[in-house]
Amino acid sequence: MKFYKKIALLIVLGVIAGFSYLGYQGFFQHDDRLNTSDLHNPLSSSKQKQNGIEVVGNPESIAVLVNKQNLLPDHYEPTDLVYPDVRFIFKEKIEKRQMRAEPAKALERMFSAAEREGIYLAGVSAYRSQSRQESLYQAYIKQDGETAANHYSAHPGSSEHQTGLSIDVSSSTGKCAAQDCFKDTPEAKWIEKNSYKYGYIVRYPEGKQQITGYKYEPWHIRFVGKELASKVYKKGITLEEYYNDYMQVDNPVQ
């Protein structure tokens, strides 16, 4: 009799284990609170170090985090640079007019949408090579000193402009281009409220200098794709905060 009781107990335990496993699987397959695509960390692929600073392993990712703690590979250059069909404050077809193909298309849609609402945007500076960033950075140090320059200019290899995913924008007149006075313009206000709809975020928001490492730049927008841009915008956070607080990055930005 005891033998049959043991058999029955084993069967019951097996059934319970089976349902538990199915329930576990179902939770991860159907609980829409867990979006596995959100758990991908664009910093995690084959990270290396350069002078003790992390070098991102997948600079081609549109979600890549580039800052003072996460450098691009030395002299990285995107392979899909194009000239977006939008207005710039200059006419020359030069390096800083280029962007990667996907953000370029999104920029065209955004500029067109703004124009339909009576807002006339213009590009100021988009892609910037590492050598060009080096020249600018050294010029800013000479002009304002290294401490001041570090608040608004990136070290070579740590500039988002080098990714081909960022662009500085202004009004079509070029007034207040890349200047603090831009924040009070209709163009800046439109960008702040609408850029996320096209996959862009204001990369260095007001009051976040201790997190991003840079002062408020309402003109500097960064393409991250619509899904991520919407999350960052609606939460009122920076890209650093998104990865540190919502993605549990192994090496958070200090």
Asked if residue 23 and residue 58 are part of one domain, the reply reads no
Instruction: Read off φ and ψ for residue 234, nearest 5 degrees.
Output: -70, -30
Q: Averaged in consecutive runs of 10 residues, what is the pLDDT profile of the chain (254 residues)?
A: 49 46 35 33 53 87 96 96 98 98 99 99 98 92 92 92 98 95 98 99 97 96 98 97 74 38
User: Is the residue at 253 inside a domain?
Assistant: no
- Supply the pTM of this predicted model: 0.78
The residue type at 75: H
Q: Indicate if 12 and 78 belong to the same structural domain.
A: no
Question: Residue 141: its pLDDT value, please?
Answer: 94
Q: What is the pLDDT of residue 249?
A: 41
Please state, in angstroms and rounded to a whole number, the distance separating the CA atoms of residues 178 and 182. 7
What per-residue confidence (pLDDT) applies to 232? Answer: 98
Look at residue 30 in the predicted model and tell me its pLDDT.
Answer: 31
Domain presence at residue 23: yes
Task: Give yes or no: residues 74 and 102 share one domain.
Answer: yes
Strand pairing class (53-55; 70-71): parallel
Which residue from 29, 173, 168, 183 is spatially nearest to 107, judged by alpha carbons? Answer: 168
Query: What CATH number is given to the structural domain containing 202?
Result: 3.30.1380.10
H/E run at residue 166: strand 166-171
* Whole-number CA gyration radius for the chain: 23
Is 217 in the active site? Answer: yes
* Domain around 118: 35-246
- Specify whether 72 is located in the same domain as 159: yes
Other CB atoms within a 10 A radius of the CB of residue 83 amount to 14
Indicate the number of domains in the chain.
2
Give the pair of three-digit tokens for residue 86: 């939008």
Same domain, 45 and 88: yes
H or E element that contains 49: strand 48-50
What CA–CA distance (Å, rounded) separates 138 from 91?
26
Q: Give me the catalytic one of 95, 117, 146, 217.
A: 217
pLDDT value of residue 38: 35
